[in-house]
Structure 1
């Protein structure tokens, strides 16, 4: 039954029988047969079928909620039993917004040293992708904004307040002191892509300051933005935590952006499901210990 529920969750996520089968490491006929067997066991049709996947039936939508809960609880049970045998061990999958990638090691490094049998995987994702991946059991936790856009039903641990700086090549005339958001109207910028919540936050502050800007470069990577700043007259807007790692040399400088002195809370998010797996419970405890906003 659990294997069939895993395949059902994958099908709802991928919305395609072939992609779902690939994600589960089975053939498409095997996945189709498993979904049909699940329907027979439950006595309802879960998936609208035609020549291709056409979505979940109302019963399928309800069954998906239960499937996620049952599969999540089963994984927790298995990890609890493994911890009883081997101590804290296993895989912890994290997804992180690009502007917090330099912060995630504060959570994982010491935790990993204390628990060497725990392995981490870290992916860079948008805030919307992080919430979707939590729902679909693709990750165990995420690092994202907590106070700017709706999160839904999740467990949260605030970590720090993100504040913003203008980053430019050394010698840029604006690096002589704090810069108001309203001063940026004529500044050539490179920014994250609009699907990133950081970009939406920055766009809102610029609009409120009366500034309309069209970036010359858009990218989904902070590294791409900074590399363009180093090689051109472009500037970028970054959270202080994301900028610090690039400011250790002499090539770049940064100044605070003021009026407003904007800040937004970043923190750890996890499924609203208890008990947590032992590894996730340990990470949540680590996050609470590190929080600057407690």
Structure 2
């Protein structure tokens, strides 16, 4: 409430460094020794200890990958109500470990995705880069002026097709509007069932709006995929607008040009009918 009462533009700049967590190095001496003990039929006590070590390592990795109970929806509403533009700058950790038995991996956390959603909702920027000065310049150069025009027809149902066209006299502005009327209570697009491995990714789109158009019931979504390597360098960026006919649309993409290893991915899905948006992001292995 205090922030909302302050005059002028209000910004939040959040600088966050990705956390790193050590895990057993694949094909490392310790991992090889544990597997050898598990395969051994001579030492039952050693087998039990090796299984216990593996279970503890997996449980610890899972507990570090997800932070449960983070109040993402409440935080997003607070920033929106206060009229704050939220900018999120994510940096890769410079932490290193020199060990033949352990390697560092990125920790995926719920609140990272929450910060990106707040940035999208408040009109801010969300950047994954260790070039902090450039990221700040990019955020400060953004224009935050928006004008919202709302209209409700006398018949608010979505039973019949209605086309929308918005015209403005000025030429130096971007106009974003629905192409067709969508009734209240329409679903919000969501990215689901993401999987990665063997130089490929797979995921699905659900809960998007579909409306009657020229005798068919269809929807439309714009999907943008961006991938960064372990040096925070962008190695892939591409987008596509697709027609949505079924209740769920499955998408798969291969990356034969990328070497196997750890990456960070951001997927943006925009429902072009309702303007709803979903974002998926996290550390992956290809």
Which TM class, normalised by the smaller chain length?
under 0.3
TM-score normalised by L of structure 1: 0.23
Give the greater-gyration-radius structure (CA): 2
Ranked by relative contact order (alpha carbons within 8 Å, sequence separation 6 or more), the top structure is: 1
TM-score normalised by L of structure 2: 0.24
Q: Of Structure 1 and Structure 2, which has the larger fraction of its residues in strand?
A: 2
